[in-house]
A and B are shown apart, each in its own frame.
Chain A
Amino acid sequence: MKRSAWRPTTAFFVAVLGACLAGCSPTETSQPSTRGVVYCSESDPTSFNPQLDTSGTTSDASAHQLYDRLIEFDIETGNIVAGLAESWLVSEDGLVYTFQLKKNVAFHHTDYFSPSRTFNADDVLFSINRWRDESHPYHTISGGMYPYFQSLNLAANIESVDRINGYRIQIHLTKPDSSFLAHLATDFAVILSAEYADELLKQGRPEALDHYPIGTGPYRFVEYRKNRFIRYERHDNYWRHSVPNPQLVFDITQRSALRLAKLITGECDVSAFPAQSELNAVREDDRLTLLEKPGLNVGFWAFNTQREPFDNPDVRRALAMAIDKSTLLDAVYFGSAKRAIGIVPPTSWAHQQNAEEISYNPVQSRSLLRAMGVEQGFSMTIWAMPVQRAYNPNAMKMAKLMQGYLAAVGVEVTIVSYDWTTFRNNLQAGMHDSVLIGWSADNADPDNFYRPLLTCGAIPSGTNRAMWCNQKYDNLIERAIAVTDSDQRKQLYAQANRLLYEQVPLLPIAHAFRYQAQRENIKKVIINSYGGIQLGEVEKRDD
């Protein structure tokens, strides 16, 4: 009895060994039967609704893949062009915006929802009212935070959103806002399906709206596994153009080295945020191409101005003096970034060439620190982002370099990092002394830098990482947006720059280029200075 027990086992071993040999032998005649494009992304999206989040990961995964907006930015010029709105009209006084909507735009048809109608004015009303109207049934769903809109305080400026007819809507503002159209063209102003939302509300699970998304974009959502992948399939009835690529997969790979490795082995077709140190490896490999765009972004070191001793501008200035920015640019960005003087990048019209800048001076820094009562051996934390961003490709490395600089002026630095979601929650709670983070603009308007980064209103919405609130600054920013003459605006922003130079709530470090690495047989990936990646037109040529 015992003997016979061994026989099947042996047979099994042989079978498995045979299967193994068959698998390893190079009989690779059949081409992959499944086609599609794999994009290696850097992190998990928090939801599939970019209204709820300003993180680039969330917009990459949703804004241009799943949704459309009323109006869009032209990729080349940054001008506003038609989206779901065919045309629009702004009244003389700048208070009334009228949009004429496109007809016959189909929503996604998926396992979990079958639309019975095409896109119309109700969807626009629903999408805007969700974040605007606090009594809207969906307002508090999924946390009720709409950081982009709240940091701009946009809801307060919208008096009403009216449906004129099925395909025409009108928005009334309380005061003119020269950047209003730009806001509607950002990644965050996506159009959701009102019909789907109603159905979910009836089913009693409204939060599914943000996790099982329905939009009008080039791909429809299939499956998401946290930390692993997101799967999309082609939206066959996409209104703008036919989608060439049948399947899109986001392979979530946190380490940039592994993303590069997967790109080389062909397991990824496109990779997000190649590390700056790897750019040369990508350039030298014939099978890979590197896309490059000047980015509308700024990486900075923000102090928590609500904590002692960082509430003292002189302490902040002294700490800023201890940092040698040029080295950071070389070592972290490998020269692929512009030195930041103010918070607005040189590509913007509001960039001020002659703005003042705090210069590197460790000796003065040391004496100023001692004079301010910051003793030798004072310890503080620098929070370093766990993820790569265009504006800061390696915050951890930067933090380590800064640790060295600050040690030279007698300040001991502890570097703190968490998982990205925890990191941002804790930042929001103001648990940091200082943080290395940054901002990628969502539209070309300078207000998109000045307002969300440093105004009082942006503290609760979690984009003002310095937690800095200055009435004078807020007034300047308000005035700048109310005028339309760009010279006048420029002057107001110059005053704001001056104020920032005096107060140092943050130390701007760099404006980085935005990179995308991809296999050579991939065409038409659009990297967008104004937001998330666009893969709607991507094509993969079979070798």
Chain B
Amino acid sequence: MTKILLRYLNLLVLTLLVVIVFSFTLGYLFPGDVYTNLTGLESKAEALRYLKVDSDAGFFSLFIAYFSNTLVGQWGVSSITGEPLFSEVLLSLPATLELGFYALLLAVVVGLPCGFFAGLKPQRSLDMSILGASAVMYSFPVFWLAMVFILIFSLNLEWLPMSGRVDLLLNVPTVSGFIFVDILLADNIDKGHAFVDALKHLALPTLSVSIITMATLIRAVRRSTLDVMRKPYIIAAQSRGLSSAQIFLKHGMRNALLPILPIMAMQVTTLITNVMIVESLFSWPGMGHWLLQAIYQQDYPAIRTGLLAVAGAVIVLTIIIEVLSRLVDPSREKFDRVAV
């Protein structure tokens, strides 16, 4: 157990180090002055002061300075607004993670049962329709799906709002950056109303992002259930006369779920990307919205920071899920994943 944890900790530290090195090289890859790219400050003197290095510092000592700055949250400032980037990221990242989390949750809540049903009765009409639906869902371009949802549910039916995380007139002070937590912490608003309002705002973005993950999950769960139900111990249980419901609940489900966790780890990254794509359609104030603005404005320090933050978050999430899946199923081979 400790060995596994240590190994993943090692992997985490190494990958994060690689990401920081990569973001440092971005300073050289982007057009313009290296010092400006690394700090967002126009004048070299100010940039050097920010990095706490001398003007004759070599490549390596510059990296050390950048590295230690990065660790303490001194990520530079935006070259357009002059705002400190670290706090900007802290404002946007929670929104992205939040949307990703609810989308994953929805995908799991719907995807798991569907996958089980399909896998237990293969080749029947239920299986075929679930499989067909998942193939369709899997092929949607996420940005188009989001627009279609807006068109149907917001503009034509007028059921759900299409922008933001909560009604702008509800002045929810930002504390944690996670809207439901912030609503609970706020003391100046009608919490019940705010809660319902936030849920409504969440509905469309969550749905459009989760559809694709849901499809992947359904297929993975179906595959894995199929495999498990052919295992000898299931057949043995059948011969002992257990009912199929008992067999599935007692032996099948858990074993079918084991190979799913690592797939979730892969899916988290896709999910976050999809969240970032739809954010600007839903005026969702997350990293994608922010990073795209930075790219359009050619705000290189912000792009560098944004990539650092997103890559960092994605890696941390992936490794957490990997660790979880290893803890749940220590017998699994290192990168052994079920086919989707």
Contact = CB atoms under 8 A, between A and B. Distances in A.
A429 interface: no
A30 B195 CA distance: 12
Contact of B297 (A33, A251, A419): A419
A397 interface: no
B163 interface: yes
A34 B167 CA distance: 9
Given A226-B81, A251-B168, A418-B298, A16 B105 contact: yes
A517 to B, nearest CB: 15
Contacts of B200: 23-24
Contacts of B167: 32, 34, 267
Given A2-B328, A261-B154, A36 B169 contact: yes
Interface string A9-21: 0000100110110
A229 B161 CA distance: 17
Given A34-B169, A229-B168, A422-B297, A13 B161 contact: no
A262 B163 contact: yes
Contacts of A27: 196
Contact of A249 (B91, B169, B254, B328): B169
Interface string B253-264: 010000000000
B158 interface: yes
A256 to B, nearest CB: 14
B171 interface: yes
Contact of A34 (B83, B170, B290): B170
Contacts of B193: 30, 32-33
Contact of B189 (A19, A34, A421): A34
A38 B296 contact: no
For chain A, the bracket of interface size reads: 35 or more
Contacts of B81: 226
A261 B328 contact: no
A523 interface: no
B169 A227 contact: no
Contacts of B158: 264-265
Most chain A beta carbons < 10 A, residue from B105, B169, B192, B193:
B169
Contacts, number: 102
Contacts of A6: 254
Contact of A267 (B91, B161, B199, B285): B161
B136 interface: no
Interface string A396-428: 000000000000000000000011011000000
B304 interface: no
Given A34-B169, A249-B168, A261-B155, A24 B203 contact: yes
Interface in B110-166: 150, 154-155, 158, 161-164
Interface in B179-216: 189-190, 192-193, 195-196, 199-200, 203
A228 interface: yes
A258 interface: yes
A216 B158 CA distance: 39
A247 interface: yes
B109 A17 contact: yes
Interface in B293-307: 293, 296-298
Nearest to A421: B80
B244 interface: no
Nearest to A9: B108
A406 B296 CA distance: 27
Contacts of A225: 91, 285
A392 interface: no
Nearest to A422: B297
Interface in A237-281: 247, 249, 251, 253, 258, 261-262, 264-265, 267
Nearest to A233: B171
Contact of B162 (A19, A222, A226, A261): A261
A419 B293 contact: yes
Contacts of B283: 228, 251, 253, 258
B169 A258 contact: no
Contacts of A36: 169
Q: Which 5 A-B pairs have the closest CB atoms?
A: A23-B199, A33-B190, A419-B297, A36-B169, A34-B169
24 contacts: A16-B109, A19-B199, A23-B200, A24-B203, A34-B190, A35-B169, A225-B91, A226-B81, A227-B293, A228-B164, A249-B168, A253-B163, A258-B162, A261-B162, A262-B162, A265-B155, A267-B167, A418-B296, A419-B293, A419-B297, A419-B298, A421-B80, A421-B297, A422-B80
Given A19-B199, A32-B170, A267-B162, 6 more contacts: A24-B199, A24-B200, A27-B196, A28-B196, A34-B169, A421-B80
Interface of A: 2, 6, 13, 16-17, 19-20, 22-24, 27-28, 30, 32-36, 38, 222, 225-229, 231, 247, 249, 251, 253, 258, 261-262, 264-265, 267, 418-419, 421-422
